Chain A
């Protein structure tokens, strides 16, 4: 790493010393904020917030799309629902697997809640 000292030609030492003395004073001095930070923060663009109606509108759109598909393809939807039910009911479920599932769901919910609380700090 090369600093200013390395480029100093002979005979310039006193200029270098003056610059260093001035720089020391410069670094040691601290400028009081005097409202500077507040002025910067006031000049920042407003935070991007989603309009309040956006979430319900999106939910309604997805629900509408789902109902539309169900109405347009009634046979397919019933077939898919039957298949899903058959696969689920065809599984052999033990008490241990139910317990494991509950444990996983509980741990996930706990982690999500902890993360959400941390973000709101």
Chain B
């Protein structure tokens, strides 16, 4: 059986011959990671996340010639996805963030205590954590959430996250510290006794 082509080989085929099959394979390989990242960044808005993921791959296709292979292809895609998210968030800031923050904060205040208390004794603790974490991440600023998603969920180093987020490493660290302070307050029910 032939070895599957590496990302670099597929990229070369797209750049040199405009090979659509090669690009299709790249999308198939990375769609899950990109869509999951965007679902986190958009605080669980799956439709918006998929629209942004599609935009991400369109931009990647158009700019593939400028990909220098200095970073992993996935890191480059995360950067495009994060930029697409920030651009969209700026556009929607008033309607989306204002309303959503208010709603989510109210929801959170009502539900956080009891959900977290119940979760401790619950065998489906993982599912409860995900729900609570989604709510807690939703109240972070876009930049704080993006830093948490890149460093924890995508397992990037601070240096890589700084490249993806297009900011200094110190800013990444600050975002993470602030985000964790907010999460600590939001997830207080999960603190071990």
Q: Contact residues of A with B, CB < 8 Å?
A: 1-4, 6-9, 12, 14-16, 18-23, 25-27, 29-31, 33, 36-37, 39-41, 43-44, 47-48, 119
Q: Does the CB pair B54–A43 fall under 8 Å?
A: yes
A-contact 0/1 string along B148-162, CB 8 Å cutoff:
100111010111000
Q: Contact residues of B with A, CB < 8 Å?
A: 17-18, 20, 23-24, 27-28, 31-32, 35-36, 40, 50, 53-54, 57-58, 61, 126, 129-130, 133, 148, 151-153, 155, 157-159, 169, 173, 176-177, 180, 183-184, 187, 190-192
Q: Does the CB pair A31–B158 fall under 8 Å?
A: no
Distance of B166 from chain A, by nearest CB (Å): 18
Considering the complex of A and B, which 10 residue pairs feature the smallest CB-CB distances, nearest first? A31-B32, A4-B151, A23-B152, A2-B158, A37-B27, A22-B133, A1-B157, A26-B153, A7-B173, A40-B57
Cα separation A47 to B152 with both chains bound (whole Å): 39
Q: Does the CB pair B35–A6 fall under 8 Å?
A: no
Residues of A contacting B180 with CB < 8 Å? 8-9, 12, 15-16, 19
Q: Does the CB pair B176–A47 fall under 8 Å?
A: no
Please report whether the interface of chain A is mostly helix, strand, loop or mixed according to DSSP: helix
With contacts A22-B130, A39-B54 taken as known, whether A15 is within 8 angstroms of B183 at the C-beta atoms is: yes
Cα separation A113 to B23 with both chains bound (whole Å): 26
Distance of A14 from chain B, by nearest CB (Å): 5
Cα separation A9 to B177 with both chains bound (whole Å): 8
Cα separation A9 to B173 with both chains bound (whole Å): 11
Q: Does the CB pair B176–A4 fall under 8 Å?
A: yes
Q: Does the CB pair B57–A15 fall under 8 Å?
A: no
Distance of B156 from chain A, by nearest CB (Å): 8
